[in-house]
Chains A and B, each alone.
Chain A
């Protein structure tokens, strides 16, 4: 082990000496990415962390901006509404992952078959994902209408009037569920494409070998497809979780966080604090907290999945 290491480091040194010019080349190629990341990611994060410790208002005010240390963070943690928002987002994530990823996976498996008009179908299923969320929300807002919207009429018709109209967006018990439905439908196309790519990456030889070994369709799925998709599952899971934690547009358009704060989300809470109540420092604190939470979740997910040998 030690031997190996020293050899490799020696060879690295040699490469380094031999290709000084090449190193410069590599640095030059990396530079745009590093500069962009610094300007648009690292600096803004440091700035928002700095802002989070002041009472910075959204727009300049006559009163001085003061350094308030961790007051904004403490206040956030003391606010029940913040915890409600966090709980709501967790609930949303918990529902959306099986709904959206399951739907995406099922469609991807279906569209991976040699169906006629396969590409056309893929395009059609992907369509909602590239439709603006705002447009989708406006349309679904009409579908959800209470008591005479299409969804309620369909339910009423199918159940022969046994199901009373549901106040999809106006009932605290239903509002978040309705947003899950809409979100899963709008966004699953993206995960579907990722799954399709993953499926295409599994070599056909494996399936052929499995067939020769006498594996039936289910076994082929379980022992070839699923292991072959492991990295895809991880990617989809992490991406979906992060997306879910950023839930905002649907809430801003359809429910504004209500009814009874049942759809309040962390990002909506942050925007409300920053833009309506004009407290930029406070909103920054919320954004830093959100960043840390998402980071922790992503790290935990990675660790867990690594344990399963992905």
Chain B
């Protein structure tokens, strides 16, 4: 009995000591998304950060990818914004306009800022005040992956750089030839399996529209009617509808990978740079990386990824920034990101990634960043822009009329802008 009492005393005093310890520490909260690998990596970075800064306690708030913006809205409503938050670059304008984020230039280590690539700066910059609000280790892109065996079988030309990308005619001829080739079940996987509610649709299919010579919204007048429902966009979406109708595209319900799946049922893949690691593991030398085709005068690729920002309500912006700088410089974290074929957003990180260097297997993806990348519209109405566009694509891919679908989407976008009085000051940026 006496022994038990003693033990409980020891335990409770130990507990009290931990509490006292926790009370002295400054806590910063970090809201993030990511697959289990990344979540584990963040946890380890935090441990190292806490070891280097014993008075800081880093607390993570995980929000799953698919419902991230909804969860973020809930945090805003509950006035429980974290100090540091990860955000998807195209939503930055909305967050800054709504007043949630603070400029981070004065807070982040200067050597990290100087290290940023142009496209990384672009994705974190708010177009109105041209200030930097978020930063990341990485950026992103989409390329056309090809199965070398199949491409050689149909005698396809293999482009060596962005400049000699396939034209629309070439691309469609190849799709047709591939559809008749033995072993090919679907000529192309456009990763429809990511679903119709994720950013994937706007991110990966938007550039096809832009390549064809139109856009989701006019980026000067900030009006969608006349742009998204223009002939060029209608034609581009009708072209994609034809691929689907012909059975050339892996259907949504077949899952997220038919390209490097066993037996390689899909010959081409319109996939993110993150697909590379798994694809090369499965396909070895049989994998070729091609630039995105020119559906009109030029090839267009997407950019932008999940980047780190500091909220306006943060009580410890200096510590928050210290954590972000620490994260971006952390060697083991960088090694992990590199192993996931992370797309460099810092020059020093690019130097560490032979994958993206000249002559590297993903060099074309990195070449696209400077030559063909077009950011998604940096406008506070972006949540509606992307939602309306996804709706239209789903409609069209399942047999709907492209013009009708795009007209509806354009109307919806303009209506949202009107409802918010033009999102001043965006409305006087003519």
Give A residues with C-beta under 8 Å from B. Answer: 55, 57-63, 75, 80-81, 144-147, 167-170, 172, 256-262, 272, 275-279
A144 smallest CB distance to B (angstroms): 7
Give B residues with C-beta under 8 Å from A. Answer: 69-70, 73, 76-77, 97-99, 195-197, 251-255, 383-384, 387, 391, 394-395, 397-400, 408, 415-416, 419-421, 423-424
Bound Cα distance A147, B255 (Å): 10
In the bound complex, do residue B419 and residue A55 qualify as a contact, i.e. CB atoms below 8 Å apart?
A: yes
Q: Which residues of chain B come closer than 8 Å to A167, judged between CB atoms?
A: 251, 253
Bound Cα distance A55, B424 (Å): 16
Given A170-B251, A260-B399, A277-B383, CB of A59 within 8 Å of CB of B419: no
Bound Cα distance A258, B251 (Å): 13
Q: Which residues of chain B come closer than 8 Å to A276, judged between CB atoms?
A: 69-70, 197, 383, 387
Q: Which residues of chain A come closer than 8 Å to B76, judged between CB atoms?
A: 59-60
Other-chain contact of A259, B70, B77, B394, B423 (Cβ < 8 Å)? B394
Other-chain contact of B398, A75, A147, A259 (Cβ < 8 Å)? A259
Bound Cα distance A272, B73 (Å): 13
B250 smallest CB distance to A (angstroms): 10
In the bound complex, do residue B251 and residue A80 qualify as a contact, i.e. CB atoms below 8 Å apart?
A: no
Other-chain contact of B70, A75, A145, A262, A275 (Cβ < 8 Å)? A275
Q: Which residues of chain A come closer than 8 Å to B400, judged between CB atoms?
A: 260
A16 smallest CB distance to B (angstroms): 48
Given A168-B253, A277-B383, CB of A61 within 8 Å of CB of B399: no
In the bound complex, do residue B416 and residue A257 qualify as a contact, i.e. CB atoms below 8 Å apart?
A: no
Main secondary structure of the interface of B (DSSP, over half): helix
Can you list 13 contacts pairing A with B, beta carbon distance less than 8 Å? A60-B99, A62-B98, A63-B420, A80-B408, A144-B253, A168-B253, A170-B251, A258-B398, A259-B252, A259-B398, A276-B69, A276-B197, A277-B384
Given A146-B254, A259-B397, A260-B399, CB of A59 within 8 Å of CB of B383: no
Further contacts, 20 of them, CB under 8 A, given A80-B408, A81-B391, A279-B419: A55-B420, A58-B77, A59-B76, A59-B98, A61-B98, A61-B420, A62-B97, A63-B424, A167-B251, A168-B253, A169-B253, A170-B251, A170-B252, A257-B196, A258-B252, A258-B398, A272-B387, A276-B69, A276-B383, A277-B416
Q: Which residues of chain B come closer than 8 Å to A57, judged between CB atoms?
A: 420
Q: Which residues of chain A come closer than 8 Å to B423, judged between CB atoms?
A: 63
Bound Cα distance A286, B303 (Å): 36
Bound Cα distance A257, B254 (Å): 18
Least CB separation from B195: chain A residue: A256
In the bound complex, do residue A277 and residue B387 qualify as a contact, i.e. CB atoms below 8 Å apart?
A: yes
Given A59-B73, A60-B98, CB of A278 within 8 Å of CB of B383: yes
Least CB separation from B185: chain A residue: A147
In the bound complex, do residue A256 and residue B387 qualify as a contact, i.e. CB atoms below 8 Å apart?
A: no
Bound Cα distance A260, B252 (Å): 12
Q: Which residues of chain A come closer than 8 Å to B398, judged between CB atoms?
A: 172, 258-260, 262
In the bound complex, do residue B196 and residue A256 qualify as a contact, i.e. CB atoms below 8 Å apart?
A: yes
Q: Which residues of chain A come closer than 8 Å to B391, judged between CB atoms?
A: 81, 261
B201 smallest CB distance to A (angstroms): 11
Other-chain contact of B254, A61, A147, A172, A279 (Cβ < 8 Å)? A147
Bound Cα distance A60, B313 (Å): 14
Least CB separation from B398: chain A residue: A260
A227 smallest CB distance to B (angstroms): 47
Least CB separation from A272: chain B residue: B387
Bound Cα distance A58, B70 (Å): 10
B87 smallest CB distance to A (angstroms): 14
Bound Cα distance A275, B66 (Å): 12
Bound Cα distance A253, B347 (Å): 40
Least CB separation from A282: chain B residue: B419
Q: Which residues of chain B come closer than 8 Å to A59, judged between CB atoms?
A: 73, 76-77, 98
Q: Which 7 A-B pairs have the closest CB atoms?
A: A260-B398, A170-B253, A146-B253, A259-B398, A256-B197, A59-B76, A258-B394
Least CB separation from A278: chain B residue: B383
In the bound complex, do residue A261 and residue B69 qualify as a contact, i.e. CB atoms below 8 Å apart?
A: no
Between A146, A147, A168, A170, the greatest number of chain B beta carbons within 10 A of the residue's beta carbon is seen for A170
Other-chain contact of B394, A55, A145, A260 (Cβ < 8 Å)? A260
Least CB separation from B77: chain A residue: A59
Bound Cα distance A272, B386 (Å): 12
Bound Cα distance A58, B424 (Å): 18
B233 smallest CB distance to A (angstroms): 19
Bound Cα distance A170, B399 (Å): 12
B80 smallest CB distance to A (angstroms): 12
In the bound complex, do residue B73 and residue A261 qualify as a contact, i.e. CB atoms below 8 Å apart?
A: no
A74 smallest CB distance to B (angstroms): 12
Q: Which residues of chain A come closer than 8 Å to B254, judged between CB atoms?
A: 145-147
Least CB separation from B71: chain A residue: A275
Bound Cα distance A261, B395 (Å): 7
Q: Which residues of chain A come closer than 8 Å to B98, judged between CB atoms?
A: 59-62
Q: Which residues of chain B come closer than 8 Å to A257, judged between CB atoms?
A: 196, 394
A68 smallest CB distance to B (angstroms): 8
B76 smallest CB distance to A (angstroms): 4
Other-chain contact of B416, A147, A172, A258, A279 (Cβ < 8 Å)? A279
Other-chain contact of B251, A146, A262, A277, A279 (Cβ < 8 Å)? A146
A24 smallest CB distance to B (angstroms): 40
B67 smallest CB distance to A (angstroms): 9
Q: Which residues of chain B come closer than 8 Å to A261, judged between CB atoms?
A: 391, 394-395
In the bound complex, do residue B253 and residue A145 qualify as a contact, i.e. CB atoms below 8 Å apart?
A: yes
Q: Which residues of chain A come closer than 8 Å to B415, judged between CB atoms?
A: 75
Q: Which residues of chain B come closer than 8 Å to A61, judged between CB atoms?
A: 97-98, 420
Least CB separation from B75: chain A residue: A59
A215 smallest CB distance to B (angstroms): 52
Bound Cα distance A81, B99 (Å): 32
Least CB separation from B254: chain A residue: A146
A111 smallest CB distance to B (angstroms): 36
Bound Cα distance A276, B387 (Å): 7
Q: Which residues of chain B come closer than 8 Å to A55, judged between CB atoms?
A: 419-420
Q: Which residues of chain B come closer than 8 Å to A147, judged between CB atoms?
A: 254
Bound Cα distance A132, B300 (Å): 44
A97 smallest CB distance to B (angstroms): 27
Least CB separation from A167: chain B residue: B253
Q: Which residues of chain A come closer than 8 Å to B419, judged between CB atoms?
A: 55, 279
Bound Cα distance A277, B94 (Å): 11
Least CB separation from A62: chain B residue: B99
